Amino acid sequence: MATIRNELARYDFFEVSSTIVPDLTGNGYAGVIRGCDRGGADMGTDSVFGQTLPALLLSGGANGGFLQLPDGILNTKEGFTVSFYAKLSPLSGFGTVFSFGRDYCFYLSAMPNPDNPEEILLSPCATGGGRSQERCLEPWFPVPSCQWLHIAVSFSAGTPSNITLSVDGKTCGSFEHPRMGAKALDHCSDCYFGFGSFAPAPIAAAITDIRIFSRTLEAHEISSLFRITPQMRLALDAGRLAGLFAKPLEKPISLPSAGQTGTTVTWKSLTPDIISDSGEFTRPAAGRECLVGALEAALSFGDCRMVQVFQCQIQPMPEDSVIARRDAQSVVLPFPGHVTEDLVLPLTGNDGSSFHWSSSRPKWMDNQGHLLKKPADAPEKLCMTLISSYGNAVVLCQEKVQVKSELFLQPSIFYPANLSILFNFCSYTFSYSFGDRYPQ
């Protein structure tokens, strides 16, 4: 275990007596497990990065338990750092992993990731006088649920203060609080793990090896707190590499040369006719079957080495009509119901389609989007037809345009842009793959 100065408290959960968790530093800051009587907390063991350790198991919810630390535990003249291991269960809403203080409060917040149900978003937060004064990471950092993590959070003294989040020994985000420093929490009350002053209910999690330091630790010190066997480090990084090939590939893949825990990774293609050592490939033509390739990843850390083979599928190209239609549908003209000047018409699509435009009333607006004249009184309506072509396919979409009159532009009756008429994009779409490419 790393020896780092200024350790205020340490809880390894090896010698829990009833509900009392001793402080191994000898400073006398023993913690108390709350909620055992209602089934909200219990002790167990688990494999944490290759080591079997005791852990505090929290059930979460209204009857959930938590660890309460003594009031006054923090000495914050030089800031402080909180380090621990946690395995967070999936969340249905906002939760707090730890919390120190009440009115002036510092806490690690967690919430579900709306884009990935298997992830949780984390951010340290600090507030001086209610949630309106809260500062946090932008954006919050995603971590996997149901997996052990080493988490460290530092809060510096003075203002503006610096707050840093590290996961698995690496810094993954930081921010400043302009009006609150760690000194505001000196000898604070309401100190918890698994619960907090702003939490609606305790969270479900497993927690072990909590360490609190009375200063902000350096990055190398935080990295040394992340205890993991070399073989587990290799296995962890290999498991994370598998996510690169979870879905069929459509674009060349960027193969990392290093794992998240510091391993070195080298790649070799076992199917060079399908995918190269660097992850380059050519997709099969539309209508063909997926290609299946194989890449060998050699991971090393110190004298330890692991070889893992990953299969990957190469997705065929979509039909020409699909690309032409997708490119056409991605076009958005600015305020087509409120046109007062030339339109900038794109000539190519995101995936390579060629664009041509045709105006239904070229006396008012030509095929290049140039506004040739403005109506004197009533607005004029027209359609701009987008002809999107890719390979042998052509897709047409119509965009309704309204040219505002000179009378509309007079200051006495000017309307702000946010009152403009919403456009109706792609009122009809059809495709064909033969005949004249560009109608006159």
- Cα distances from 341 to residues 279, 369, 380, 385, 401, in angstroms, run 46, 9, 13, 18, 12
What is the reported pTM? 0.65
pLDDT digits 0-9 by tens, 328-366: 999 998 888 889 899 999 999 998 999 999 999 999 999
- pLDDT at 399 > cutoff 60: yes
Q: Strands (DSSP E) along 132-255, which ranges?
A: 135-136, 141-144, 148-155, 161-167, 170-177, 191-193, 204-213
Position 322 pLDDT exceeds 60: yes
The pLDDT of residue 435: 38
Q: What is the pLDDT of residue 230?
A: 87
For the cut 90, the answer to whether the pLDDT of residue 232 exceeds it is no
| The residue to which tokens 């993954």 are assigned | 172
Q: What are phi and psi of 185, to 5 degrees?
A: -105, 10
Q: What is the pLDDT of residue 260?
A: 79
Contacts of 322 (CB under 8 A, 6+ apart): none
